[in-house]
Structure 1
């Protein structure tokens, strides 16, 4: 394993003192981890250096052909001051799956974990202390070779940046309103849906903007072929409590294999629920909400953990779900998973690593 060089940093910038003023993705720490790749040489020059801009050639392939992937995970400050990571190895292993799909070089997971730990130790004062806050971690890889031509690049840049973030739910879990898109799809069947790549998110922006204009919080995406099977909500996986079972879309290649999704499915099985991985139709969702077969729905993802759903609109039909509050199971899952992350609940699955 390569040694990681630690470069000097000016630490005049200090963490925000009023953590209630934190905004997601706006504030960054003093340091970042960086290394480069070149075909024939491999990954080289791993280092922790001052946070700052990169210099890219205008012909860098990422700018023209979107060869880019990223991950998102968090570090948590526990009551005793200890800093915890939630399933970080899973994130870097998924990063490599994304790299493979996008024809990019894979990483040494152990080196990445070592680099992240070193970076967090140096920046530990940036992990916020207030209830529900965390340090968001963004590993990213971009193609930097300066050449015009559609091909996998021969040069890449990998980096990790850190951003302190406020509690996602400042006023408690509130159900979101969902607009179902049947005209626009997130990714086509056989596309890059299972990779965490920027193009997937760029393609979601237009429909998300339309939903926001209509007063909705999120978009529910349907499959790209028949436009009737539920896939994901916003940038999250989605689960339904349907006929007393947990039903969620299967990992068929068009949706992300969410780490929060995996964790939630493990927890609900432990709680005694049967899990059914099948694609519900939008009619099943709307009819189920109306006739009582569907009792709860929630998105799952790193940022929100779980995001309860209280309303669906599809074409001219609107249905409400629940009583305007997060459902009992949704609340239990949120409290259990965040309890594991912050050290309030037992970690039976060894999901948490501490510094």
Structure 2
């Protein structure tokens, strides 16, 4: 392996690529990883020199605080390759700002912007061949930070590791999605970490979601923890409701993730003269709209699926199947977003970032 220094980075290239062992026509989401990874250590009160090395397992002390106190945050991003083989990121500065916001909430050190973008850019350049320009293909990017200090006293760590790993992805298809509206369990509470991409948020969802699976539902729409009256998020996605021709989504708070795809959908709705309301919405309002026929669509938004239509829902004893739409908003927004991401349309808000 050859090690070279580039600006603030040390780069050690893999001796050979494992790309030929990957079937790009049959990818399971988040299972295959590229040849290289980025890492940077926080020690002695400061971030050290960032490194790009061959992808390999980590060695951590069993007492590393991440295992015992859950100091771990992450992000989800994508890179896209256009027909000229140019690589683009979508709103990466939002991801950078959000991971630092998440880190601050968990008493973890924020990461420098210049090292983040340099590490990410060099990583994408090194593993460029893994990014395909076929329709629906993308590179899923996972930045994350974990507490690595070997100590089991209950306090914030003094040592951390920031990393970026990458996984090639095809067009995401979650199959038919029906949701159970939560009336007992909660995803987040006031004053908690619901707005952060903290690893523990997702672990806490697994059990109630598994109960929903047993009833034949693929995801849970979370409600407020105080009364379970207000609709908040769906699974790992933000959620939109179309009542008549108005799009409604809950406002962000310390319980709801400030989704980047969510923000983009809201802006695209405004750009295309679609009525959009960011306001609290009660379960009762949704059920009544379903009963009187004014509920047209429900869809989730997020990095992996971009837009995920929801076919039906259940709340307590009430079940409802959504009617099929000739021109669904979900398809409209997904097409608009994909066109910007793959450099097929104008980018008036400058969301694309060229590698």
Which residue pairs with 1:227 in the alignment?
A: 228
Alignment of 1:39-78 (within 5 A): 39-40=44-45, 42-78=46-82
Alignment of 1:1-355 (within 5 A): 3-15=8-20, 18-40=23-45, 42-169=46-173, 176-323=177-324, 328-355=328-355
Moved more, 289-298 or 120-129: 289-298
Structure 2 SS opposite 1:100:
helix
- 1:188 positional shift: 1.8
- 1:213 positional shift: 1.9
Distance between the aligned counterparts of 1:18 and 1:144, measured in 2? 34
Kept in 1, the 8 Å contact 2:13–2:36? The answer is: no
TM-score (norm 1): 0.95
Structure 2 SS opposite 1:330:
helix
Which digits, 9 at most, give the CA deviation of each residue in 1:168-192, with x for residues without a partner?
139xxx6521111211111122110
Structure 2 SS opposite 1:306:
strand
Structure 2 SS opposite 1:107:
coil
Ranges in structure 2 where 5+ consecutive residues have no aligned partner: 1-5
Distance between the aligned counterparts of 2:329 and 2:13, measured in 1? 48
Distance between the aligned counterparts of 2:150 and 2:172, measured in 1? 39
Distance between the aligned counterparts of 2:186 and 2:49, measured in 1? 40
Distance between the aligned counterparts of 1:137 and 1:8, measured in 2? 19
Kept in 1, the 8 Å contact 2:22–2:32? The answer is: no
Structure 1 SS opposite 2:25:
helix
Tell me: CA distance 1:276–1:7, structure 2 relative to 1, closer, same or farther (3 Å). Answer: same
CA RMSD of aligned residues (A): 1.7
Which digits, 9 at most, give the CA deviation of each residue in 1:186-244, with x for residues without a partner?
11221100000110000000111111222212111111001111010010000112243
Distance between the aligned counterparts of 2:13 and 2:21, measured in 1? 22
Distance between the aligned counterparts of 2:280 and 2:7, measured in 1? 44
Kept in 2, the 8 Å contact 1:175–1:326? The answer is: no
Kept in 2, the 8 Å contact 1:15–1:125? The answer is: no
Which digits, 9 at most, give the CA deviation of each residue in 1:140-162, with x for residues without a partner?
10001111111111000000000
Structure 2 SS opposite 1:268:
helix
Aligned length: 350
Distance between the aligned counterparts of 2:20 and 2:222, measured in 1? 38
Distance between the aligned counterparts of 1:50 and 1:246, measured in 2? 45
